[in-house]
Amino acid sequence: MFYVKNVPTWERWLRGMMGIALLVAPILYLGWSTLGIVLGVMGAMGVMTGLFGYCPMCAMVGRKLDSKK
| Per-residue pLDDT reduced to its tens digit, 7-63 | 999 999 999 999 999 999 998 998 889 999 999 999 999 999 999 999 999 989 988
Query: Is this model's pTM higher than 0.85 or not?
Result: no
Are residues 40 and 23 in contact, defined by beta-carbon separation less than 8 angstroms? yes
Residue 41: predicted pLDDT: 95
Q: How high is the pLDDT of residue 64?
A: 85
pLDDT at 61: 93
What pLDDT sits at residue 69?
Answer: 52
Task: Extract long-range pairs of 7-13: CB within 8 Å, 24+ residues apart.
Answer: 7/49, 7/50, 7/53, 7/54, 7/55, 7/58, 7/65, 8/65, 8/69, 12/49, 12/50, 12/51, 12/53, 13/50
